[in-house]
Structure 1
Amino acid sequence: MAGEGEKMEVEPVPTTEDEEEDCSDLADLLSSVDDAAKSAADKIAILTSILSEPSNRYGPSASAVKERAVYALARAYCVDSKYDEVVTLLTGDICAPFFANVTKAKTAKVVRAVLDAVCALAPDELDMQAQVCRNIVSWCVAEKRTFLRQRVEAKLASVLFLQDKYGEALALLDNLLVELKKLDDKTLLVEVHLVESKVHHGLRGMAKSKAALTASRTNANAIYVAPALQSQIDLMSGVLHCEEGDYDTAHSYFLEAFEQLDQLDDREKAVPCLKYMMLCKILDGLSKALGISATGATGIRSDRNAADISGMISGKRGVKYAGTDVEAMSAIASAASKRSLKEYEAVIVRYPRELQDDLLIRHHLGTLQEQLLESNLIRIIEPYSCVEIEHVANLIEMPLPVVEKKLSQMILDGKFHGILDQGKGQLIVYEDAGTDKAMEKGLKVIENMDKVVTSLFSRSHNLRSMMV
């Protein structure tokens, strides 16, 4: 968003002098940059010469050429991995004459476009992105560009979130939200609340994350929201429902986000949505197959086809988004369907980047591993009333201390009834005792009698008060 002065300022009306201004030499230089034979250094030198040409031409035509030169120079620096130059490009001497001779609205447009291009061309260079944002914020403070500063600070907060610097991002967002609520800038409030929700989710504060997402949705309902931003809101809604164990609702939100991104042909953001949809299908199917809910209820069934996701990756979707990410989730689904802990661990080792880099997938695959381990242990000990723990560890092919610790945890959680005889190294499993109906009814009678006595005592107390 532009500042107050930026809102009111319009492009100057071309004069006769501007119309007659000859900038064909600059246009020719800019066109020569497209020559594939030129090296990156030559392209950078040509673009720099356009921005620092001695004639100081800043008419409409010359400004348009120089604007394109700024974009091309940012791309050239990123392609050539000259990230130090990227950091100082906008706030250094190269762009200073151009920004000093164009309108504030044009300056804000160029700064935001270059920042978006740099983040897209070098997505893994988070330190560079953060430093670029900080430089622009300092420049905005010096130039009193309040609205542009707020936009860049929102971008900086999202970069800090990607760097896992949650505390620093949250402090920046808190100050920014105070300013934005005074201005009632709903467009930016939607984005900032969305980033705030992601930060709280990273800190595992689900209640605050949900509150921030609700605030983002509330502001979004009052304005038009671009499909790209709406997809991110739906994606975050799916993430929070997935964390709550409501996999059906989460799947529907992920599907909404995926379809919007698919229409925008944004493969980079659509693939994670597809992975999340597959994750929800796997978790929901395994929960039903094992009879284990999100909170860990007991009971097992042997429906092994419940975690099958072959239908989700067939047809156009499978062809368009085929790759290692989809292969990794398919392998996880196969291991979950077979309830094979060994195969599951092999998949984790085979696809570390696809399965461990994403916060949501990493967290829920840990839950999935616990469910698989519990289901395999229950299946092994089910025929026995007394079994050696070492024998169980050999069958499941895991270290004895790990198995012993897990069995004790399952006993405490009520997954099955039994005790560990550590002196003999044995697990004693008790049969599930049926509930005593007479005891339950007796307790219910006592509870009702207590309510009656309490009510009579209250009435007698009121009568005494009236007599006095």
Structure 2
Amino acid sequence: MSSSIILQARQLVIDKNYNDAELLYHNILYSDGNNENKLSNDYSIQEKEESILDLGHLYKLTSNSEKLHSLILKSTEVLSIIAKSKISKIIRQLIDLFNFIPDSIDTQILSLKEAISWASKEKRSFLTQSLQLKLAQLYYKKFYFNDALNLTNSLSSHLRKLDDKNTLIEVQLLQSKIYYNLKNFSKSKASLTSARTSANSIYCSSKLQADLDCMSGILHCQDNDFETAFSYFYEAFENLNSLNWSKESESQIIKILKYILLTKIMLNKNDDIIQILSNKLITSSKSIQNNLKQFDAIKKISIAYNQKSLENFQKILNDNSNEFSNDYLIKSNFKTLYHQLLEQNLLKIIKPYSCIEISYISRLIKLDETFIESKLSQMILDNVFYGVLDQGNGWLYIYDENKIDKNYGSALQLIKEMSKSVNLLYEKATVLN
């Protein structure tokens, strides 16, 4: 049962009198509230546990990441005599509080490194691995991909020995994400396959299953298999939707819904987008309704692409650059759509002509002349159309596609057979001589 001093401190927190509450919690933990070097013996271990967690929440409320970092270090000293499982749980809870403090990732990384060092020294292997996984996830968030990869490689070998499949799946999934961001798609697929193989032999939570399905969908998008990608994204959406929504799952659901809409655009099934956004699951969700602007932008992209309007497409991309540029999958596929649309518009312009000025094309399409010249050159090399660029005069010559006479193939085959017969006759004549 909580002591009166803890209840008093909690009331002070409710009243937003944070400084006085902090001093009361310090009095429980330390013999002199202002001296953190002298541990108090006047209170029970349970009271100290409660004080540490309450103090952590106080620092979360005041967004004081530095004091939370200091508390994590001190908690190992204060609680060094209690059971290993309890102190491990407390440290993990304190580390997780950083998630609610803005711009605290760097401090969280520092706290994790120091906590890992302490756990290793105390030979608390399960806590060490749990904290290392958390550190690798933060490295990934900060785009420190090589650091994250080194840590996950070391972790996976230890986890295989311990046969800790739950944690191993999370590590392999994280490796898949890291390799994907490093553009090593073959290794990303291999890591995901390993994670799925491990997941088949144990029960996986809905959240973990949704993460696996989402990553599968992303890799299928990379292979331009958007039908299969849609199926995986929809599975992930349903798995996450079955959970109680948290801030983290809410952002994940919104991201997956964007990917679902993306697959429909890539499949040129624009009518399905309106149908998906009218789904009861989506219309009844306040969180999704509050983020409709993001989906409206994708819907506008779909309309512009369907209307073959390059100008509108470019305008929507520019107006929503912040929303699209932070996601590699959306950004790369919209870039593909843009270049497809550009090619379609260029072909439409040059179709009536045998010779046309590049400057004229540039004026019609409202894009830089050098960029248009480069794009036309690429299209010629890719055999999109037959033509020649006269860079001296700034002209483009367009030729009709060369029609291949089917008789050429038959004539070549006949010559080949005749050559074989002549060679055979020559060999026989040589033997006779």
Determine if contact 2:270/2:303 at 8 Å carries over to the other structure: no
In 1, Cα distance between equivalents of 2:134 and 2:414: 63
2:204 is matched with which residue?
A: 225
1:251 is matched with which residue?
A: 230
CA deviation after TM superposition for structure 1 residue 414, in Å: 1.1
Structure 1 residues 218 and 433: alpha-carbon distance in aligned structure 2, compared to 1, 3 A threshold: same
In 2, Cα distance between equivalents of 1:351 and 1:28: 49
Deviations 1:295-318 (A, max 9, x none): xxxxxxxxxx74762112114314
1:58 is matched with which residue?
A: 44
Greater mean alpha carbon deviation, residues 265-274 or residues 308-317: 308-317
Letter in 2 for 1:89: L
1:72 is matched with which residue?
A: 54
In 2, Cα distance between equivalents of 1:45 and 1:452: 104
1:312 is matched with which residue?
A: 276
Determine if contact 2:177/2:188 at 8 Å carries over to the other structure: yes
Determine if contact 2:98/2:104 at 8 Å carries over to the other structure: no
Structure 1 residues 97 and 168: alpha-carbon distance in aligned structure 2, compared to 1, 3 A threshold: closer
RMSD: 2.6
Greater mean alpha carbon deviation, residues 46-55 or residues 375-384: 46-55
Structure 1 residues 34 and 446: alpha-carbon distance in aligned structure 2, compared to 1, 3 A threshold: farther
CA deviation after TM superposition for structure 1 residue 386, in Å: 1.5
CA deviation after TM superposition for structure 1 residue 233, in Å: 0.7
SS in 2 for 1:100: coil
1:107 to 84, 87, 105: 87
Structure 1 residues 107 and 443: alpha-carbon distance in aligned structure 2, compared to 1, 3 A threshold: farther
In 1, Cα distance between equivalents of 2:422 and 2:28: 94
CA deviation after TM superposition for structure 1 residue 453, in Å: 11
2:154 is matched with which residue?
A: 175
SS in 2 for 1:88: helix
Aligned ranges 1:267-416 → 2 under 5 Å: 267-285=250-268, 306=270, 309-316=273-280, 317-318=282-283, 320=285, 321-322=288-289, 323=291, 324-416=293-385
In 1, Cα distance between equivalents of 2:27 and 2:83: 22
Structure 1 residues 58 and 318: alpha-carbon distance in aligned structure 2, compared to 1, 3 A threshold: same
1:439 to 408, 418, 421: 408
The answer as to 2:128 corresponding to 1:149 is yes
CA deviation after TM superposition for structure 1 residue 203, in Å: 0.3
1:90 to 72, 77, 88: 72
Structure 1 residues 319 and 432: alpha-carbon distance in aligned structure 2, compared to 1, 3 A threshold: farther
The answer as to 2:104 corresponding to 1:118 is no
In 1, Cα distance between equivalents of 2:223 and 2:16: 55
Q: Where in structure 2 are there 5+ consecutive unaligned residues?
A: 32-39, 425-433
Determine if contact 1:308/1:333 at 8 Å carries over to the other structure: no
Letter in 1 for 2:353: Y
Greater mean alpha carbon deviation, residues 156-165 or residues 176-185: 176-185
Letter in 1 for 2:68: V
1:239 to 218, 221, 226: 218
Structure 1 residues 44 and 445: alpha-carbon distance in aligned structure 2, compared to 1, 3 A threshold: farther
CA deviation after TM superposition for structure 1 residue 186, in Å: 0.9
Letter in 2 for 1:24: S
Determine if contact 1:44/1:77 at 8 Å carries over to the other structure: no
SS in 1 for 2:402: coil
Letter in 2 for 1:368: L
Greater mean alpha carbon deviation, residues 65-74 or residues 229-238: 65-74
Structure 1 residues 89 and 224: alpha-carbon distance in aligned structure 2, compared to 1, 3 A threshold: same
Determine if contact 1:75/1:118 at 8 Å carries over to the other structure: no
SS in 2 for 1:90: helix
In 1, Cα distance between equivalents of 2:119 and 2:195: 26
Structure 1 residues 394 and 252: alpha-carbon distance in aligned structure 2, compared to 1, 3 A threshold: same
In 2, Cα distance between equivalents of 1:180 and 1:140: 17
Determine if contact 2:63/2:102 at 8 Å carries over to the other structure: no
In 2, Cα distance between equivalents of 1:308 and 1:270: 19
Deviations 1:436-456 (A, max 9, x none): 2112334456678999999x9
In 2, Cα distance between equivalents of 1:443 and 1:70: 86
Determine if contact 2:10/2:21 at 8 Å carries over to the other structure: no
Deviations 1:365-391 (A, max 9, x none): 222221221121112112222211111
CA deviation after TM superposition for structure 1 residue 130, in Å: 1.7
CA deviation after TM superposition for structure 1 residue 173, in Å: 1.4
Deviations 1:221-241 (A, max 9, x none): 111111111111111111100
Letter in 2 for 1:41: N
TM (normalized to structure 2)? 0.87
In 2, Cα distance between equivalents of 1:444 and 1:99: 87
Letter in 1 for 2:55: L
Higher normalized contact order (CA 8 Å, seq sep 6+, divided by chain length): 1
SS in 2 for 1:309: helix
Deviations 1:399-424 (A, max 9, x none): 10000000000110111111111222
Deviations 1:263-295 (A, max 9, x none): 21231210000011111111121xxxxxxxxxx
Identical amino acids, percent of aligned pairs: 35
Structure 1 residues 124 and 38: alpha-carbon distance in aligned structure 2, compared to 1, 3 A threshold: closer
Letter in 1 for 2:173: L
Structure 1 residues 179 and 239: alpha-carbon distance in aligned structure 2, compared to 1, 3 A threshold: same
SS in 2 for 1:418: strand
Structure 1 residues 283 and 183: alpha-carbon distance in aligned structure 2, compared to 1, 3 A threshold: same
In 2, Cα distance between equivalents of 1:179 and 1:69: 35
CA deviation after TM superposition for structure 1 residue 167, in Å: 1.1
Letter in 2 for 1:108: S
SS in 2 for 1:180: helix
Paired residue total:
408
